[in-house]
Amino acid sequence: MTTLLEIAAAIQELPEGEVRELSTWLQSYLDERWDRQLEGDVRAGRLDHLIAKAEADIAADNVRDLDEVLHNG
């Protein structure tokens, strides 16, 4: 098994273009893992309390426009 230190050392030996390709691949890989984790959390009901709170806030008109939030943040 290759260690993280060995991988880091090998990356430092790559030409810049290959490092950029690796970076793009790694970000895509992490995005896919995040998506699978989020989908699993939704299926398992781990986000139900957040969804219920958002729905309650919407029903109580306790929300702000996204533009307002972004420009007054």
Give pLDDT, residue 72. Answer: 78
Is it the case that residue 4 has pLDDT exceeding 70?
A: yes
Q: Where are the domains of the chain?
A: 4-71
Alpha-carbon distances, residue 8 vs 2, 4, 22, 41, 48 (angstroms): 10, 6, 12, 32, 39
- Helix H segments across the chain? 4-13, 16-44, 48-59, 66-71
12-50 pLDDT, tens per residue?
Answer: 999 999 999 999 999 999 999 999 999 999 999 999 999
Give pLDDT, residue 14. Answer: 98
At residue 72, φ and ψ (nearest 5 deg) are -115, 10
Give pLDDT, residue 48. Answer: 97
Give pLDDT, residue 44. Answer: 98
At residue 45, φ and ψ (nearest 5 deg) are 85, 10
